[in-house]
Each structure stands twice: as C-alpha cells, then as structure tokens.
Amino acid sequence: MELTKTLTMITTAIAAVCLVGFYVYKSVKPPPPIPLPENVSEISPRIKLNDGRYLAYKELGFPKDKAKNKIIILHGFGSSKLVDLKITQEMIDEFEIYFLLFDRAGYGESDPHPSRTLKTDTYDIEELADKLQIGPKFHVLGMSLGAYPVYGCLKYIPHRLSGATLVVPILNFWWSCLPLNLSTSAFKKLPIQNQWTLGVAHYFPWLLYWWMTQKWFSPFSQNPRETMTERDIELADKHTKHAYIKESALRQGEYVSMQRDIIAGYENWEFDPTELSNPFSDDNKGSVHIWCALEDKQISHEVLLYLCDKLPWIKLHEVPDAGHLIIHEKQHFEDIIKAACS
C-alpha cells in the first residue's frame, strides 16, 4: 500500500514536471513562418539564391544598364520593399539613378534565413545584386534598424561598394568600442520597456519570442511621444501605419521578420564599427555618409558623434528640427540621395 502511494506521488510529480516543461517549451519555441500563397511570384518578382531561398525585390528609376548611380535601399524595422521613396522623376533622370529595393529575409515575400545574422543579411545583398546583374559596384542605403547590414557591407564586402549611407542608424549598445558611460547614457534614454526588450534580444535571444508574446508587460513603450516627435507621429500616420504595409511586411509572421531583425541587430557582432577601414581612396572613389536627426528620440546624437570622430572618413550630416522618420521628408530624402550621388 505504501509502495503504491509512493509510486503514485512520483508519477504525479513526473507528470507535473512534464506538463510544465511542455508549457515552457511551447511558450519559448517560435512558430514556423506563415506559408506564402502559391501565387507569390504573381505578387512580386523574386530571385532564387544559391541556398534555395527566394528574395522579393522591386526596381525603380533609370534602366540599370544605363544608370550612373545604382542604389540598394534597405528598409527599416517592420517595413518592406514598398517603402515610399520621396523623390521626383526629374531628380531620378538628372542623376540617372537606378533603385533596387528588396524585402530583407523573413519580411514580405522574401524567405526567412534559418540562422539570420548581420553577416547573412550582408551576403544576401551581394548575391541579390549579382543575380540581377546590376554591376560590380553599388551604393547601399540603410535606414534605422535596416542600417546594420550597411555596417556589414563596409566590413565584409567593401570592394563591392561605390558608396554607403546610414540614415538614423541603429546603435548596438553592446559594441565594446563605446565608452561605458556613453553607451549607458544612450541606453537609459530609451523607454524602460524598450530597454528590457533589447536586453532580452542581446542576452537571451532564444527567449525573445516568449517575451514579445507574453501578456504581463508590453515589450515596447505604448506612448508614441516617448520615441517620436510630433512630426514623426504625423509621418508615421501617413507612411508607416497603413494596414497594407503591415500586412505585406509581416505576412510570414512577426518572429521571422521583426523579432529576428532585432536579434541580428543587437546580438554580439564579429566586429565593432570603429574597426572598419575606409574602403575608398583616390583610386577608388566613393564616400560614406551618416545622417543624424537632431530631434531623434531613438538614436543618440552623442554616440554618432563619437563614431564619426573615430572614423573621420565618414561624412556626418546633422539635420536640425528633424526626428527619426527623416527618410519620409521629401526635402531631406532628396538631400540624402544627392549626397549619395555626389
């Protein structure tokens, strides 16, 4: 009788542990990507990469075989190749610009990368350019979180660049090159919820899916005025909050798109930005630009100043009275493109 009671207790305990373990596993394990429709090739042109994945893309502007300036646009967090470029046809014709936009891995109609990192995003850019035969050199332009592959291009494929532009670029607060007081000060200016989420992405990336879907705490600040200026809010309402943009960008699910994006941007990189070398010289003309909006509530002006002081070959453009969504201001975007084409 005593043995039966003991065995029952042990069995119950094992069942309880298994049940808890199963719940934890289900909570932590990210879901598979939502399948794309069978007619996806009718929705957007796609190119097959050597590893079997497909990237969806969009071409605009001057014919690529005649263009003087070839610019690959890297969209930001939660966006896609459908990002609205505020540029006139007259300017495209004047500077003979070919634009290539594409859905970064896991966004829109582009297949996810099973082990996505800054480096894999970088080589996706190079392979896409080669598959579409846009030429041996091109300019990369990344905005916000979409700027981290630009750092990757400067590190891993500098010989392929005719130029590079980083617009209000991501700051990885765990770069060892940053003085601790500077990175800490910039980090603590973010809303506390945003700090927690970036910390989870950096230290416990395997836990990020659970963190983003748990119901106890919001993973990001719900007060837009903590991260955006009044003008940013106006621009977001016009350009980034339309249902079709979210539906297109996140059609495969938030984990393989936005959450993997956060992990790739804020994990430990193989290099620090201050280790980068100038890819351009008198014999290899080109330039690198960083655009800093002085009213930006997300990207630290002080950190960008520090980076550009350490890398004096980068041209820093400080834009007064502008916030994080500077890319959606027509005059500012045209200024950015003119500098890239100069």
Q: How remote is the C-alpha of 110 from its chain's centroid?
A: 14
Say what the pTM is. Answer: 0.91
Give the pLDDT score at 5: 54
pLDDT for residue 266: 98
Tell me the CA end-to-end span of the chain in Å, nearest whole number: 89
Q: What is the pLDDT of residue 333?
A: 96
Tell me what pLDDT residue 60 has.
95
For residue 247, give every residue at least 6 positions away whose Cβ sits within 8 Å of its Cβ, in sequence order, or none: none
* 190 is a domain residue: yes
Domain of residue 167, residue span: 39-341
- Assess if residue 14 is contained within a domain: no
| E strand intervals along 168-240 | none
DSSP H or E run through 295: none
Whole-number pLDDT of residue 15:
43
- Give me the number of domains the chain comprises: 1
Residue 219 resides in a domain:
yes
What is the full per-residue pLDDT of the chain (342 aa) written as tens digits?
A: 554 554 454 444 444 433 434 444 445 799 999 999 988 888 899 999 999 999 999 999 999 999 999 999 999 999 999 988 989 999 999 999 999 999 999 999 999 999 999 999 999 999 999 999 999 999 999 999 999 999 999 999 999 999 999 999 999 999 999 999 999 999 999 999 999 999 999 999 999 999 999 999 898 999 999 999 999 999 988 876 666 677 789 999 999 999 999 999 999 999 999 999 999 976 778 999 999 999 999 999 999 999 999 999 999 999 999 999 999 999 999 999 999 998
CB 233 within 8 A of CB 224: yes
Q: What per-residue confidence (pLDDT) applies to 301? A: 96
The pLDDT value given to residue 244: 63
The DSSP result for 11-73, as a single string, is HHHHHHHHHHHHHHHHHHSPPPPPPPPTTHHHHS-EEE-TTS-EEEEEEEES-TTT-SEEEEE
In a domain, 24, yes or no: no
Instruction: Decide if 22 is inside a domain.
Output: no
Among 59, 132, 126, smallest CA distance to 99 is for 59
Q: How far apart are CA 204 and CA 94, in angstroms?
A: 49
Q: What's the pLDDT score for residue 39?
A: 87
Domain for residue 1, yes or no? no
Give domain status of residue 65, yes or no: yes
Q: Which two tokens stand for residue 337?
A: 């493109």
Residue 79 forms part of a structural domain:
yes
- What's 257's domain CATH number? 3.40.50.1820
Q: Give residue 262's pLDDT.
A: 98
pLDDT at 84: 86
